[in-house]
Amino acid sequence: MPKRKASQVFYIIIGVISIGLGTLGVLLPLLPTMPFLLLAAACFIRSSDRLYQWLIH
């Protein structure tokens, strides 16, 4: 069980970082937005349904 919890925390951290980079991509012309938001969605769907629903809606 602790290994599953650790992977959930890892995916949440990567998802939050991806959202931050995606947000920066809106402001900076050379940084892409969509790949980071897709990565965040993939991480959140593996870790937290609540965060995934928040990102989608």
Mean pLDDT, rounded, for 11-23: 96
pLDDT, mean of residues 16-31: 94
The model's pLDDT over 31-48, given as tens digits with 9 standing for 90+, comes to 999 999 999 999 999 999
If you ran DSSP here, which 8-state letter would residue 1 be given? -
SS (H, E, C) 11-43: HHHHHHHHHHHHHHHHHCCCCCCHHHHHHHHHH
Span 2-12, pLDDT tens digits:
778 899 999 99
- For the chain, the domains span 24-57
Residue located via tokens 């593996």: 46
| Position 1 pLDDT exceeds 80 | no
CA-closest candidate to residue 54, choices 1, 6, 16: 16
C-alpha distances (whole Å) from 31 to each of 6, 17, 41 are 30, 14, 18
